[in-house]
Every structure is written in structure tokens, then in C-alpha cells.
Amino acid sequence: MSDTVIEVEGVGKQYRLGLVGTGTIGHDLNRFWAKIKGKEDPYLKIGDLNDQHQKSENGWVWALKDISFSVKRGEVLGIIGKNGAGKSTLFKLISRVTSPTVGTIRAKGRIASLLEVGTGFHPELTGRENIFLNGAILGMSKSEIRSKFDEIVDFSGVERYIDTPVKRYSSGMYVRLAFAVAAHLEPEILIIDEVLAVGDAEFQRKCLGKMKDVAGEGRTVLYVSHNMPSVKELCTSVIVLKHGTIHDTGKTHDLIPRYLAETIKAIESTDGEIPVNIDRLNTGGARFTQIHIMSEKLVPKRVFHFKEKFIIKLQIDILKKLERAAIYLFICNPMGETIIMATENAQFNCLLFEQGIYEINVKFEDVLMPGSYNIELLICDNKGSSIDCIQNIKGFQIMKQTRTNDEEYPFVPVHGYILPKTHWNINKL
Amino acid sequence: MKEAEEGWDLVIKPQAKWYQLDLAAIWEYRDLLMLFVKRDFISVYKQTLLGPLWYIIQPALTTLTFTVIFGGIAKISTNGVPPILFYLSGITLWTYFSDCLNRTSNTFISNSGIFGKVYFPRLVAPLSVLVSNLIKLGIQMLLFLGVWTYYLYTGDTLKPCYPYFILIPFLIIVMAGLGLGFGILISSLTTKYRDLTFLVGFGTQLMMYASPIIYPLSTIRKPEYRHILMLNPVTSIIETFKYIFLGNGILNWYALLYSIVFMVILLLVSVIVFNKVEKSFMDTV
């Protein structure tokens, strides 16, 4: 009991859909009357669950409903779920940005929330001034910041520009400085919302490492992310939110495969059609329309023999001319980790795509170990921003037996994912 | 239920008690308050040629305008006080009040970016406005004192009331309290009903004419007008200020008491409303 640092009990948050601000006097008066008469708020009884695909019956929606959980000291809790499942709302409630409609949240110790990096950064102020300002906004005292100042500057790597106004910074420098401040907070409870989605890969790794340190020091971390590998790496347990309620909860290594398996996108092998409204990150320039998984002889298949070659055929509809774009095909394990990144050329050059439909055949040699695999498709521009991305497409399975059945993968647990082409030279000396 | 809440540092519930004003928390964030002040000061005058000189230019030009229009053209009496000094004294104190009011009245809207991401006692933001305006007032007071000293030694129309100089800080505090009270009350109401934002700008301008800035209160003869003017809590503060420095004004202790009581009640009400709104304003702003 005394180990519990956060306790969330029956928390719900109701929002009104549509325009806010006009026509609310009537509602306010209604509420006021109910209060005077000692009745329950009339608007608390109504409201739909937070399912964005369904049209609401009335103007009210529960962004979160009946959320109860507790977090122990030193635990790193991941919160996952689709966009709009209520993750950010939950974090806003815990970090006191807004208050719940019903329920109670109790916490022990100082809470610092990082719902965004660089909150309160002022473009006219220098890096140095912004470190102090941002640190104070996040709840540090001046002396605390002063004692960590060198560390922060060092971590951010913008030492040369520390006395330059941040409006002259590149966006990367800006983000690095902002994260550096946040990373040196020392609260008992740290709330982080996908701040890792910024910065280059090297800096992201640095951030992840820093967050692991934080967790290692026995502090409690709540972490929201779409990025399964980082959740897996950081979190000890996970809560899955769906339509504003807790859908599933458990230890990370059990839950993530379960979650991925549940949300997997099964695509019929007969026509290979990818529905337009499938859960995808699309910015409108292009759209993956078909995916076929086939044997070397172009027979649709989902189960392959060990060491069998296979082909993945894609169709992509380019809606407007793309000057420089690249298509990637990722193969992931059931934990959502990328095993293979395949692209058209090893130089990672971008290609020109005219408007129209393209068909792409990707032939894989015998590269994979037995196991089941999923697929992620991505087309992005030369800056790496996604044009269309579909994650977690149901893939295929590779059996332990080879095609001729004369050979079999010998071990019970499969070790690794890739069957490397190596040349061994063994000499007795 | 009572026992369940023991041992927790923080309990978040849908409705906070209306009297729950956590002054200790605001004190903890005093560094942030001062950094906000510094930010305001630096950011406003960065990349300007004249920098903080603008603080002096604004009241100087307004005073000149008033002197020409109200003193020269409209010929409104200043009771024998040099017009420049008369207008400057009113403007200096009034500007502090109206700046506090205007800048705190959009606390929620202008800070929604920060407020939506991080929690800190929201009152820190409007309080920092009071302090940064206090710096501005300090600079403008220097201008006023300069002009005042000049007239003090070149003419004999001024009869300053030196023992009452001790009242000056107190007058400023009441002005700050009134500005803050009106400001955060408006800012709380504007989160839901934006209509008030239209009112603030010209509302304060109109209020200036209902305060003895461009005319001495003593020239208002009609009792009903004078009563209306005395209802304005700023009136007695400005008159007292003029009385102390210029020896020309009405020092009425009852009127001063009225202003103080007005300020205290206004502050109480506005802080309660502010507290209530800050819990959930992110949903409506």
C-alpha cells in the first residue's frame, strides 16, 4: 500500500462535442438549477463512449470513463492505444492541466509532466535564459537549475549558441535544448508524452537512455507512445486504452504481442486489397492499395517453408507527382520490432514517381528464421516525413521444415530472426 | 474516505473547494514569477532602438497631448497646478492600473499554450504582470519626480504634503489589487464567454474619463456627478496621490476606506472565480 505512488480511481472526463463557448449559458443555468435542488448534474448521465467512428447520439462524449489503476514506486508504466483513445487526456488529468469530471487521482511526491518539449520557450530569449525559464515552468527552483546548468548545456550540445536567442536556432538545436532541460528534472513522478518523436535518431537514442536512467533511479515514470519498441524497452507494465476505457493491462512482454495481435490488419490474400479507411498515417500524396504475399511461383501463400524464397507484391496509387520519395518495406517480429528494412536500392536514393498506379515486386531470398512476421509499409519524402504508412499488417509464417522435408531447423526455441550468409573457415591448428 | 486521503501529497478531484487558495504553492514558484518578469522585460524591448526609454516616451507624449487638447483647447481647469504636472501625475498612476488590468485580463487566453501543457499555480502569471508593470511604474515615477522637482523649485504653486508620502506605496498596492482583481475576473469569464474581451480595451479607456485624470475632482460641482465619480474605486486613490504630491486634490479617508474595502472584496471574489476556472479552463478556451 505504502508503495503506491499514484492511485487513479474511477476517473472520467466528459467533453462537449462541437462548438465550445456559444449556447452554453443555457447548460450552465440547467446545471445551476440541479445543484440548487441538490440533484446530480444532468449532463453527467448522458454521453457516449469515445469511439470516433461512431456518430454521437447527443452532444456529449466521455473521453475517458471508469479509469482505475495504481502505480507503484519505481514502476515504468506505458500507456498505449490508438490515436484518440484518451491517452493524452489521461495525462492531462494526472498532470493537473485539466480536472476530471468524476473520480479521484491521488499522488505522492512531486509530479513533472512533459507533454511537450520546450513549453514556454520564448524565441527572443537566449538559450541560457530559456533554460532557466523552462526549468522554472517545469517546477525547478533557480538554484536547482544553476547547479545542473552545465550538465544541461553539455547534454544538449548547443554550448556555442547558449547566448544566442533561440529564434536563431535550428529546429534540431531547439528540441535538443528543450529536452535537455526536461531530462534534468528530478521529480518523484515523471509523465512523458511522446517527446521522443522529435530530433534525429542519435538524439532519440540519447533521450531513451536518459529516460532509462531516470527509471533506474527508482523514480516512477508514466510514458505514452506509439512507438512499440521504445515502450518495450522502457516500460515494466502497460495499459492499453481503447475508446476511453482500459482495454487491457499487464506486464510489457506479455501484453505487447497480445496488443499487436489484436490490432493486426489482416488483409485477404485473394485480392490483397488494402481498405482506404484502414488505420494509416496518410498525408494524401500517395496510398498503398494492395499487398500480396506469394511464393516464388507467384502463388499466394501465408505459410512458407524454411529457406523458401518469397515475393511481396505491392500496389501503390500515387495521387500527385512526387519528385523525391522512397518506399520502404519493413518486416517485424510479433513484438513489433523491425527485423528487416528493405528498400529499392542500398544507397537510399529517392525516386521520382509520376501520378498513377505503380506495381512493386520485392523478392526476398532465404533470409528469415522460422517464426511469424508482420509487415509495415512506408512511403516517405526525402526528408523522411511519411506520405503513407501502414503498420502491423498481418504477414506470414515460416515453418521449421524445409521444402523437401529432408532438413529441419534443429532447435526448439528459434534463435534470432535472420539467417545470415556467412562464410566459415574452420582449421585445426 | 477521510483516512484514504492521508499520506497523499496531491489529491485531484473534480471540484476543488472554493476557498482552496494555495499561497504556499505560489511562494514555491516565486522563481518562476521573477523569470516571467524578466522574460516580459527582455522580450518587449529586444530589437528596439530605444529600449526601456519607451516607458518614458509613452506617458510623456500622452501628457503633451492632454496638455494641448484638454488644457490648451478645451481649457479644462487644473486648479492652478501646472498642466503638464497635473496630467502626468494622473497618467502615471492610471497607466499602472490600466496596464495591470489589460494584461491580466487575458491571462488564460494568452497563456493557454503553457497552461495546456504544464501545471503551476496559475496565479503566478497575473502576479508576474503586476511585478513587471511595477518596474515600468518605477521608471515612469522617475520621470514624474523629475518634472515635479523642476516645478517645485521654479514655482510656488505646489504644496506637497510630506508626512503623507508614507502612503504612496500603499496607494500603489491598492491600485495593483484593483487592476489584478478586475483583470483576473475578466480573464476567468472570457474563457467561456469571449464577449468581454471586446469590452476590456475601450472599457478601461472610458473608465479613465470617469476618473479624475484630466480634471480635478473638486471642479465637479454637481453632487450626483460627484457621487458617481466617487463610486469609482480608483478616484480616491488618484485624488490622494495628487493631494500628497501637488497639495491639490481631495484627501477623504472614507473614500480611501471605500477603495480598500472594494479592493479586498473584489480580490476575494475574483480569486475564487479564478481558482474555479483554472481547473478546467483548458476544455473551454
Q: What is this model's ipTM?
A: 0.83
Residue B280: pLDDT band (50, 70, 90) is confident
Provide the pLDDT for residue B3.
44
**Length of chain B measured in residues:** 285
> Which chain A residues touch B282 with a CB distance below 8 Å?
92, 97-98
The partner residue sitting opposite B8, judged by closest CB among A107, A115, A142, is: A107
**Segment among A56-60, A85-89, A112-116, B88-92 with least mean pLDDT:** A56-60
Domain boundary assignment for chain A:
4-110+187-260, 281-402
Is A167 an 8 Å CB contact of chain B?
no
Alpha-carbon span B22 to A76, nearest angstrom: 30
Please say whether the structural domain A4-110+187-260 has been given the CATH code 3.50.50.60.
no
Rounded CA gap, A224 and A67, in Å?
Answer: 16
Nearest CA in chain A to B193: A21
Higher pLDDT, A427 or A183: A427
How far is Cα A130 from Cα A149, in angstroms, rounded to an integer? 11
Residues of A in contact with B41 (CB under 8 A): none
Percentage of chain B exceeding pLDDT 90: 35
Q: Which of left, alpha, beta for A54 (phi over 0: left; psi -120 to 50: alpha)?
A: beta
Q: How confident is the model at residue A25 (pLDDT cuts 50, 70, 90)?
A: low
Partner A contacted by B46 (CB < 8 A):
yes
Confidence of residue B1 (pLDDT cuts 50, 70, 90): very low
Third-level CATH fold of A281-402: Coagulation Factor XIII; Chain A, domain 1 (2.70.50)
Distance of alpha carbon B264 from alpha carbon B256, whole angstroms: 12
Structure-model confidence comparison of residues A360 and B190, the more confident one:
A360
Average pLDDT, chain A: 82
> How would you classify the pairing of strands A220-224 and A76-80?
parallel
- Residue A250 phi/psi, 5-degree rounding, is 170, -175
> φ and ψ at B275, to 5 degrees?
-60, -40
Among A99, A97, A106, residue whose Cα is nearest residue A13 = A99
Residues of chain B numbered 120-139 and touching chain A (CB < 8 Å): 120
Residue-wise burial string across A65-101, b where 16 or more C-beta atoms lie within 10 A, e elsewhere: bebebebebbbbbbbbbeebbbbbbbbbbbbbbbbbb
Q: In terms of CA atoms, which chain B residue is nearest residue A63?
A: B283
Sole residue written with cell 523525391? A324
C-alpha distance from residue A71 to each of A239, A255, B178 (Å)? 11, 17, 45
Q: Which residue has the higher pLDDT, B116 or B265?
A: B265
**Residues 6 or more apart from A269 whose CB is under 8 A from it?**
A292, A293, A300, A301, A302
Touching check for A107 and chain B: CB below 8 Å?
yes
- Residue A279 confidence (pLDDT) above 90: no
**A122 touches B at CB < 8 Å:** yes
Weakest-pLDDT range from A110-114, A231-235, B85-89, B281-285: B281-285
* Whole-number pLDDT of residue A22: 45
Instruction: Please report the pLDDT score of residue B20 as a whole number.
Output: 64
Query: A120 touching B, CB under 8 A?
Result: yes
A39: pLDDT strictly greater than 70: no
- Determine the average pLDDT of the residues in A15-31: 60
- Cβ proximity of A180 and A205 under 8 Å: no
Quick check: A137 contacting B, CB < 8 Å? yes
Q: How confident is the model at residue A52 (pLDDT cuts 50, 70, 90)?
A: low
Asked whether residue A226 carries a pLDDT value surpassing 70, the answer given is yes
Alpha-carbon span B266 to B186, nearest angstrom:
12
Show Cβ contacts of residue A303 under 8 Å, excluding neighbours closer than 6 positions: A396, A397, A398, A399
Q: How confident is the model at residue B41 (pLDDT cuts 50, 70, 90)?
A: confident
CB-based contact, B276 to chain A, within 8 Å: no
Mutate to test the interface with B, among A1, A44, A98, A108 (most CBs of B within 10 A): A98
Please tell me which residue of chain B has the smallest CA distance to A136: B32
- Taking contacts as CB-CB distances below 8 angstroms, the residues of chain B near A120 are 113-114, 118
- Which residue's C-alpha cell is 447527443? A58
Q: Considering only CB atoms, which chain B residues are within 8 Å of A102? A: 14
A251 touches chain B (CB under 8 A): no
A68 and chain B: CB distance < 8 Å anywhere? no
Interchain contact, B39 vs A129, CB within 8 Å: yes
Residue with cell 504508412: A389
pLDDT of residue A51: 57
Q: What is the DSSP letter of A97?
A: S
- Joined grid coordinates for residue B270: 475574483
Q: Is the pLDDT of residue B267 over 90?
A: yes
Give pLDDT, residue B16: 60
Angle between helix axes B83-104 and B54-66 (nearest 10 degrees) is 120
The H-or-E segment that residue A209 falls in is: helix A201-216
Give me the mean pLDDT over the A81-86 stretch.
Answer: 80
Please name the member of B31, B47, B192 whose beta carbon is closest to the beta carbon of A141.
Answer: B31
Q: CB contact, 8 Å: A34 with chain B? A: no
For residue A414, the SS3 value is coil
CB B157 within 8 A of CB B82: yes
- Write down the H helix ranges in A8-98: 24-36, 87-94
pLDDT at B233: 92
Span A236-252, pLDDT tens digits: 899 998 888 888 888 88
Out of A185-189, A203-207, B136-140, which region has the weakest mean confidence (pLDDT)?
A203-207
Q: Which residues of A touch B281 (CB under 8 A)?
A: 98
At A365, list the grid cell.
531470398
Q: Tell me the C-alpha distance between A290 and A262, whole Å.
A: 21
Q: pLDDT tens digit string along A116-159?
A: 777 788 888 899 999 999 999 888 888 989 999 999 999 888 88
Q: What is the mean pLDDT of residues B28-42?
A: 89
What is the residue-wise DSSP string for A77-91? EEEE-STTSSHHHHH
Angle at which helices B233-246 and B168-190 cross, to 10°: 150
**Cβ pair A181, A152 in contact under 8 A:** yes
What percent of chain A has pLDDT above 90? 16
Binary contact (B283, A15; C-beta < 8 A): yes
The DSSP code sequence of chain B is: -TGGGTT-SEEE-SS--TT---HHHHHHTHHHHHHHHHHHHHHHHTT-SSGGGHHHHHHHHHHHHHIIIIIIIS----TTS-HHHHHHHHHHHHHHHHHHHHHHTTHHHHTHHHHTT--S-TTHHHHHHHHHHHHHHHHHHHHHHHHHHHHHHH-S-----GGGGGGHHHHHHHHHHHHHHHHHHHHHHHTT-THHHHHHHHHHHHHHHTTTTSS-GGG---HHHHHHHHHSHHHHHHHHHHHHHHS-S---HHHHHHHHHHHHHHHHHHHHHHHHHHTTGGGT-
Report pLDDT digits (tens) over B79-125. 888 888 999 999 999 999 999 999 998 888 888 888 888 888 889 99
